[in-house]
Amino acid sequence: MQTFLLLQTFPDQYIIEAHERFKEFFSDCCDVRELEDEFDVDQFSEATLIAKPVIYVTLAEIVDTHQLLLDHRFQVAQGRAEKEFISKRNCSKSQG
């Protein structure tokens, strides 16, 4: 009710106060600790892990990746020599 009365009588004053509140709110939102400090990590943290990360890749994922490379082999090949090599190898979907 107080905001409504303030808005009715002094709309410019309400906008000024609201602007200040929003400015303070967003300033507080942006005032955060650095990620390195928050999570206690640095550029060498992964190297010092006792258990190294393990990535599991299934056979189906390997086959799917290989098929994608075959389907887009000319887009993946950078230079003319690579494209000629691919053409000479005659890679086709029927071979997979």
Q: Residues 19-42: pLDDT tens digits? A: 888 888 888 888 888 888 888 888
Identify the band that residue 96 occupies on the pLDDT scale cut at 50, 70 and 90: very low
Pairwise pLDDT comparison (91 vs 64), residue with the higher score: 64
Q: What is the largest CA-CA distance in the chain?
A: 82
Instruction: Please give the C-alpha separations between residue 50 and each of 40, 45, 93, in angstroms, as whole numbers.
Output: 16, 10, 43
Q: Residues 26-82: pLDDT tens digits? A: 888 888 888 888 888 887 877 787 877 789 999 999 999 999 988 887 777 777 677
Amino acid identity of residue 32, one-letter, is V
Residue spans of the domains in the chain: they are 2-48, 59-95
